[in-house]
Amino acid sequence: MCGIVGYIGKKEALPILLEGLRDLEYRGYDSAGIAILNQGKIERIREVGKVDMLVKKIAGKKFPGSIGIAHTRWATHGGVTEENAHPHLAGNGKLVLAHNGIIENYRELKKEIKDQNFESETDSEILAKLIFQNYSGDLLKAVKMTLPRVRGTYGLAIMHADHPDEIVVARLGSPLVVGVGEDEYYLASDVTPILPFTKQVTFLDDGEVALINRQEFKIFNLKDEQIIKGVTQIDWDIETAQKGGFENFMLKEIFDQPTVFEDAIRGRIDMSEGTAKLGGLNMNLEEMRAIKRIILIACGTASYACLAAKYAFERLSGIPTEVDVSSEFRYRDPIVDEHTLIFAVSQSGETADTIMALREAKRKGGVVRGIVNVVGSTIARETGAGTYIHAGPELAVASTKAYTNMVAILLLYALEFGRLHHTTPATGQRILQSLLQIPEKMNEILKQSEQIKILADKYKDYNDFLFLGRGINYSVALEGSHKLKEISYIHSEAYPAGEMKHGMNALLTPDFPVLAILTQNQLYEKMKSSIEEVRARKSKTIIIASVGDEEAKELADDIVYVPKTMELLEPLLNTIPLQLFAYHTAVALGRDVDRPRNLAKSVTVE
């Protein structure tokens, strides 16, 4: 997730900017850069890799000046190169801009720019050029003229060589904080880089633009009305600030899901046609219609996201869809041809087994595409096409928000293929409307975190656990079980509920609690019967049920309610209480939830 740092005051800017970049390293990034304004000239330096690489590049050079901005980039548009790193220049070096976020309509804005000499592949450079094009002596005015034209998200810091005492900042969907010192101001994407210097901060809200100079800063909305805000005293330390006030990264990432879900689907839906538009597929309609079979290859949590998507692909498009564990796919001599589309799904894009599996699929003539989180990763490069899930860096080993966004992207692909077959525009529109409601419903579930914490404390001392689901919720049961075992170290299994009588019932005792997913869908009555079997064997039952389902209470020792949604979208909601249950159980047992034993975030060896 990109990070911005800025300073204006009496001190030398360079050390403050570099320290700020280091304090933002926890967010994840692939390149970094700084720009300092001194004596009417902007000096900029950028480098791919860690901040240490940037520091080495700066060594021996002088960058005097007491006003500057800096940036760590998490690539979204364009590969990981120095040219794509921020800050970006415009107007022959007169204007410099650092940008967090995504400009959805950058292609149409690009057509309006007179200076078509671009040094990068980014949407951010287009924004810098457009602001400069609108500049006529007043930097704040130029920014306020430009931003109403922008669709997407942004956190912006902008300087101009002719304004040596000004930084203009703006926010829409990407956080910005201003730290208040004595005749000096600090700027950052969150409070972390500011805390070593001041704990007095003001948070910008969406749609606000601020003009910062050495004596004061003023906040305006895009209607040019001044906004009066107070200053907040921050009592966090730096480590707490990096986690956004949460106890650890995993909990923060669970709570990030409503926001990053919006990032995943933003600009990728076409409500008028009831379809999705995922340009990274790089296939025309005829090539898409030629696909007769889909294979989803992944490992761990990503494979459970794929299993949820299998139901959507087959129901919406009628295309036979398989889910293969990557480590098995390459060794079973898979049958693929030019009519087989293979999606390689991985958060890191560096999962060794998935890389080897996609190479095998390519070797056999399949059409291979990637679905990853990390821009410029091996899978992204080797497939050359596909989709980024825009979950931002995921620092906890146990995946949460990446899972959600994988499901979201795969659902959009299922709809896009479905609209080429038998899914009607009306059905597509209903699905998209329901997708747009998901973030609000996620927030309703997250409000139950304390309730689920009490539940976790009640069950933390059991040595075994069973998760049950049917249909699309079997994939949710698998992911819930996976989360519990990997961070709490409790033995856990997941079963399709209809299979209980074929073996699993033999293990059920009062000491073997069962978590069952009983949301109201077409398999509701079947699932109720399976839970009755469990209760007959005296196992305790925790039930995930739809809001308003009073019957479910009769089957439950404990119950958690989730909002209703379309059946194909249920994994987006039903997984969240299971994430929280696993998290709170692990914390109650004293586990290191961010770094569970024997596990790594990215498995880069077989």
Catalytic residues: 2, 601
* Distance, CA of 168 to CA of 158 (rounded, Å): 5
Instruction: Report the candidate in 567, 602, 605 with the shortest Cα–Cα distance to residue 301.
Output: 602
DSSP one-letter string for 468-517: EE-THHHHHHHHHHHHHHHHH--EEEEEEGGGGGGTGGGG--TTS-EEEE
For tokens 């998901």, what's the residue? Answer: 438
**How many other CB atoms are found less than 10 A from the CB of residue 440?**
10
**Coil vs helix vs strand at 487:** helix
Q: What angle do the packed helices 425-446 and 570-588 form, to 10 degrees? A: 20
Provide Rg for the chain, Cα atoms: 25
Token pair recorded at residue 384: 């050359």
DSSP one-letter string for 83-138: TTSSSEEETTTTEEEEEES-BTTHHHHHTT-S----SSS-HHHHHHHHHHHT-SS-
Residues 6+ apart with CB under 8 A from 179: 185, 186, 187, 188, 191, 194, 197, 198, 200, 201
Backbone angles phi, psi at 513, to 5 degrees: -65, 155
Which residues are bridge partners to 495 per DSSP? 468
CA atoms within 13 A of residue 527's CA, in its CB half-sphere: 30
Q: DSSP secondary-structure letter at 243?
A: T
* Distance, CA of 140 to CA of 132 (rounded, Å): 11
Say if residue 272 is exposed, middle or buried (CB neighbours under 10 Å; 0-12, 13-18, 19+): exposed
Q: What angle do the packed helices 472-488 and 300-317 form, to 10 degrees? A: 170
Give the H/E segment covering residue 257. Answer: helix 257-265
Token pair recorded at residue 158: 């902008």
* Distance, CA of 301 to CA of 313 (rounded, Å): 19
Q: How many residues does the chain have?
A: 606
Sheet of strand 491-496: strand arrangement: 491-496, 464-469, 514-518, 541-546, 558-562
Backbone angles phi, psi at 203, to 5 degrees: -95, 130
* Distance, CA of 503 to CA of 500 (rounded, Å): 6
Q: Which amino acid is at 593?
A: V
**How many other CB atoms are found less than 10 A from the CB of residue 114?**
8
Alpha-carbon distances, residue 342 vs 296, 365, 389, 448 (angstroms): 6, 10, 17, 38
Token pair recorded at residue 192: 């972390």
